[in-house]
Structure 1
Amino acid sequence: MTDDWPFKRKGYYLRQTSPQRIQRFTCLCCKRHFSTQTFSTSYWQKRPDLIARIVMMVVGCMGNRQMARALGVSPTSIAHHIARLGRHCLLLQADELARIEHLDEIAIDGFESFEWSQYFPFHHNVAVDVASGYFLYHTDSPLRRKGRMTAHQRAHRAVLEAELGRAHPRAVETGVRELLAGVVRGGHAVTIRSDDHRAYPRAIAAVVRKIDHQVTSSRQRRDERNPLWEINVLDLLIRHSTAAHKRETIAWAKRRQASIEKLSIFQVWRNYVKRRREKGGRVTSAMLVGLASRPWRLRDLLRERLFFEKVALSERWQQYYRRHVETRALRVNRAHELTYAF
């Protein structure tokens, strides 16, 4: 609250968690009431003590039911907390990304996973700054199941596609185009590193002009000498830190929207909290790109509530914030439509 904002105290209310006394105010302009909780990331929460612990559990490769058992709450409560944290991290990352003026080299890739069942694969399209390892942006692209299948599996895929529709054949191109639009600005020359996916040249050509597209075979050894080292490390960390992306897991994502929200939490943690190298100094990717002067703690990540109307989100990230990403296999896909807790 700023000094030139006219308001007055309007009593207080008590709650069970600390701090127990919450001061209330009245705005002298619009006559609306608010409290100190209005500007807190734990606004309208019965258990504000859970939010920081859930952040570390999400990036610590715990499934929702494991978190629920550890914290003594229901899995639904965990899902709601994660959705709110995902929205907060979307706003925070967008606000921070706007401070970056120009990037010289960007690596992109498609991290493949699936929602509901292996008949509904999708890509998390991700972009990283080569110099710092800063996780810049992400979009998603639903895919059609491919690869080796039995005759029964092919028949079942045909039934599902007849009932629910087929993923757009150029979904990856669209997703990567929106990915690059979110990180490449102005007329500056930029180098894009990627593997040899056929959709990438079309997506790159549609976004920028002054560009050097460097292609590395996906079969090349993935060590530090690989030009895609930074994006390969990011893919490894996403798989290592998220229960839904483990090989042969039983905690796979049931909804692509939920996977996006967890990835958004991971993104902010990776950039601002986690060291870039575990055996190196206390340096984060955000420090290397000039967005932070020290590693963040969780209280820095959760220091204040961010408002949707105050942060410029891309059209794709607005869809993520409003929870408009639908899982075709499910009839009910609830959007985020709250009024005061939006």
Structure 2
Amino acid sequence: MEPLSLDPQPHQSARTLENFVPQQCPWSDCPSQTGAIDFRFRSKGYFDRACDGRRVPRFHCSICNHGFSAQTFRVDYRLKRPDRLWRHFEHFISKVTMRQSTRLTGSKLDTVARHQRLLGEHCRALQQALLRRARDLGRGPKTVRIAFDELETFEVDRLEQPVTVAVVVDAKTLFIHETEVGPLASRPSARSRRKLPSDSQVPGDGAAEGQPRRCGSRRTVRAALRRTADWLSTATSVTAVSDMKATYPCALRSAFGDHLVKHVRVRSTSPRTNRNPLFPANLTLAMLRDGVSRLVRRSWAHSKRRGRLRLHLWIWIAWRNWCRERVVGSRRTTAAMASTFADAPLSIDQLLGFHGRFEELAGLA
């Protein structure tokens, strides 16, 4: 399989809708999906899309006798207004709330929510596919210095349902490797004691009936670090930077094992300047607060479900890693390029092109 090209100006052999060549059948029940039978197909002409006028080639799988087209592999598959998906993506990375997005595009709130779920799942799958490809090709840094920390927000109620967001960042390039969202224990306060008994269940925390809401910080950090280790090469040496939280050393050893060379611990009371070893994590969390509407303090834009927050985070992270320049004035060098995961920045059309679950098509417009 050829290396993934991230050239922003697709060359003649790039997979566009007009010269698209399928690499596998999109139907999950096709025997060729398991690799037992080689995938074979034949062309069946073209059709013109009424919504945007694009000419899309059709194909027929010779193994399962199902039909499909190039559009089947795209994120905007079966969307009547694909142009609004692009506009909603721009809103999600620009601190625009969902209801304001409905006013700007004329869409219904359900449509905006559905697009957010679609984009969040796609962006996460796309980054995983690109990192998996880079790992298999032996790309990526041989030594990495990660900085990780947690940011606190809430769902529905600030005291009863606080939420933690763990983020793992490359301390040198600001590439965001992973993020995870989890619940925190309810805050004891006079108002909360009047509102709910101390042993009652808080809705949406996943606890059994009659049990209090438990803290999921340890589980959240472990999940983010474990997935970060999965995307790194087995020969990569890791240096970690974190604050003094007691659960972090055990989580690092569990995730990286012998690949963990050093763990630098910084007091949370240290000045948050660029000389602070934890500055890359602090900067990334501040940028998340500024770019994701659900994390803005003292607003009505907070999440009602933390699962929705996770999807929204991945939309911003994918754009931040693969499209946006690493820092202002870095001459279009993205965090993925600085980490040697990519050779060129992705355009929005490339980022929202073919679906991320197809590794050989990921990121191509």
TM exceeds 0.5? Answer: yes
In the alignment, what sits opposite 1:202? 250
In the alignment, what sits opposite 1:126? 167
What is the distance in 2 between the residues matched to 1:155 and 1:205? 42
Q: Deviations over 1:16-66 (max 9, x none)?
A: 311255443222221101112111121011111122222111010001111
Cα 1:2–1:47 shift into 2, 3 Å: closer
Q: Does 1:145 align with 2:186?
A: yes
Between 1:13-22 and 1:2-11, the stretch displaced more is: 2-11
The 5-angstrom pairing of residues 95-110 of structure 1 reads: 95-98=129-132, 99=134, 100=140, 102-110=142-150
Contact 1:173 / 1:202 at 8 angstroms: preserved in 2? no
Q: Quick one: which of 193, 207, 212 aligns to 1:154?
A: 193
In the alignment, what sits opposite 1:176? 221
What is the distance in 1 between the residues matched to 2:83 and 2:199? 43
What is the distance in 1 between the residues matched to 2:49 and 2:235? 53
What is the distance in 2 between the residues matched to 1:126 and 1:8? 45
Unaligned regions of 5+ residues in structure 1, if any? 312-342
Shift of 1:219: 1.5
Shift of 1:14: 5.0
Q: Does 1:63 align with 2:97?
A: yes
Q: Does 1:270 align with 2:270?
A: no
TM-score of the superposed pair, with normalisation by structure 1: 0.82
In the alignment, what sits opposite 2:5? none
Shift of 1:269: 0.6
Unaligned regions of 5+ residues in structure 2, if any? 1-20, 24-37, 135-139, 361-365
What is the distance in 2 between the residues matched to 1:304 and 1:189? 33
The 5-angstrom pairing of residues 220-259 of structure 1 reads: 220-259=270-309
What is the distance in 2 between the residues matched to 1:282 and 1:21? 32
Contact 1:105 / 1:131 at 8 angstroms: preserved in 2? yes
What is the distance in 2 between the residues matched to 1:60 and 1:163? 32
Aligned length: 307
What is the distance in 2 between the residues matched to 1:158 and 1:220? 38
In the alignment, what sits opposite 2:76? 42
Q: Percent identity?
A: 29
Contact 2:129 / 2:356 at 8 angstroms: preserved in 1? no
Q: Quick one: which of 82, 85, 91 aligns to 2:116?
A: 82
Cα 1:189–1:22 shift into 2, 3 Å: closer
Contact 1:138 / 1:179 at 8 angstroms: preserved in 2? yes
Contact 2:161 / 2:184 at 8 angstroms: preserved in 1? yes
What secondary structure is seen at the aligned counterpart in 2 of 1:260? helix
Contact 2:142 / 2:236 at 8 angstroms: preserved in 1? yes
Contact 1:196 / 1:216 at 8 angstroms: preserved in 2? yes
What is the distance in 1 between the residues matched to 2:244 and 2:336? 29
Shift of 1:125: 0.8
Contact 1:103 / 1:129 at 8 angstroms: preserved in 2? no
In the alignment, what sits opposite 1:331? none
Cα 1:296–1:144 shift into 2, 3 Å: same
Shift of 1:10: 3.7
Q: Aligned Cα RMSD in Å?
A: 2.3
